[in-house]
Amino acid sequence: MKILFEKTKLGNMTIKNRFVRSATWENMATEDGHMTDDLYKVYKDLAKGEVGLIITGYANIVKEEQPNPGMMGIYNDAFIDEYKKLTTSVHHYGSKIVMQVAYGGTKTTFNLGERTIYAPCEIAEKTTNVTGKAMTKDEITYIVKAFADAGKRVKEAGFDGVEIHGAHTYLINQFLSPYYNKRTDEYGGNLANRMRFLLEICSKMREQVGVSFPILVKLTASDFYEGGLTFQETKLICKKLEEIGIDAIEISGNIHGKANAMGGEVFDNHQIQEEGYFLEYATSISKIVNIPIITVGGFRNIKTLNKILSETNIDYFALSRPFLTEPFLVKRWKDGNIEPVICIRCSKCRTPERNFCTVFNKK
């Protein structure tokens, strides 16, 4: 019988429990993406709170592309030493830490007009209405290399793995989506072509980090609108990622700002859940691949997690906003206080200064 508080293997990582801190933008790094004392403390507290696997907030892979202020950077070697300090701190408490790397693209309203933003095609992002520059093949090669180089830096900094952000209408997700990707070259059209960009990133990164360094991919289950990426396509992408040696997949969705209204909608013959938004999607994927599946979104109750663990092939449970409220949540549950999370999913944790729980915690 599987239990939440047991050691598991993800690639060559041994993780002390099945709890994951999903990547969370903290808005605490310097303007150039470097670490601050406050940011070090965030990760130290998560490790002290016994989160088994911590995934960092997304880090930009090229200096000129920063979708949000205060996000971490990994675009040159200057970051390596300060991240060694971070990984050493986390490892001291027995947790594992993975860095998420991303190219945001047009899912941004930050610093517009002062930078070139790449996209597969000149199609405005649905929520931001930002239109990017359609990438040339040379620009695609440039970004593929930037992802791979970032992965190498992640490994050199002592992280236990790297997660490629392919969800939430960021650049990789847009290449996968037929709504945004109308290209007529080898990077557009059928699914094999639309996933080419992601597969090239994975392949080049694998060359840089070696066969034993864990690479995770975060995917959107479905675009959840007509003409977008379907769940059937996502399942095919997951099978291909397993085939090329990806170590785990995190299944998410593009629901920013809608958390309180989640639950009940049906897309691609699967229902979004009030607790564990994308659980049905993650469960379906866990039946067709033999690599760990991480599910994320709205989890509140440890009893629910135990039930899911006993009834599905899902391996890990990721939380984000609850850890802003309670960085010691996992330890609390482990110590026997199994009351649900305090977080009320109000999404007021994003502030201009930094991201923190404005309801229950002070800065």
Q: Write the CATH number for 235.
A: 3.20.20.70
pLDDT in tens, 102-121: 999 999 999 898 789 999 99
- Tens of pLDDT along the chain (363 residues) come to 899 999 999 999 999 999 999 999 999 999 999 999 999 999 999 999 999 999 999 999 999 999 999 999 999 999 999 999 999 999 999 999 999 999 999 999 998 987 899 999 999 999 999 999 999 999 999 999 999 999 999 999 999 999 999 999 999 999 999 999 999 999 999 999 999 999 999 999 999 999 999 999 999 999 988 999 999 999 999 999 999 999 999 999 876 445 455 567 888 888 888 888 999 999 999 999 999 999 998 899 999 999 999 999 999 999 999 998 999 999 999 999 999 988 777 777 666 677 776 667 655
Q: Is 207 helix (H, G, I), strand (E, B) or coil?
A: helix
| Domain range enclosing 142 | 8-334
- Kindly give the residue spans of alpha helices, DSSP state H, lying in the chain: 37-48, 80-92, 137-156, 171-176, 191-194, 196-209, 231-243, 279-286, 302-311, 321-325, 329-334
Q: Is 170 a catalytic residue?
A: yes
Q: Give the whole-angstrom CA distance, residue 83 versus residue 85.
A: 5
Is residue 29 situated within a structural domain? yes
User: Among all chains, which residue has been given the structure tokens 């199609």?
Assistant: 123
Q: Give the whole-angstrom CA distance, residue 59 versus residue 352.
A: 19
pLDDT at 191: 98
pLDDT in tens, 172-213: 999 999 999 999 999 999 999 999 999 999 999 999 999 999
The pTM for the full model equals 0.95
What is the residue type of 341?
V
Residue 246 · residue 217 · CB < 8 Å: yes
Q: Give the whole-angstrom CA distance, residue 21 versus residue 322.
A: 9
Is residue 133 situated within a structural domain? yes
Is residue 323 situated within a structural domain? yes
pLDDT at 257: 46
pLDDT at 259: 47
pLDDT at 357: 63
Q: Which of 43, 118, 170, 180 is catalytic?
A: 170
pLDDT in tens, 183-193: 999 999 999 99
Is residue 244 situated within a structural domain? yes
Residue 60 · residue 75 · CB < 8 Å: yes
Number of domains into which the chain is organized: 1
Q: Give the whole-angstrom CA distance, residue 131 versus residue 112.
A: 10
Residue 134 · residue 195 · CB < 8 Å: no
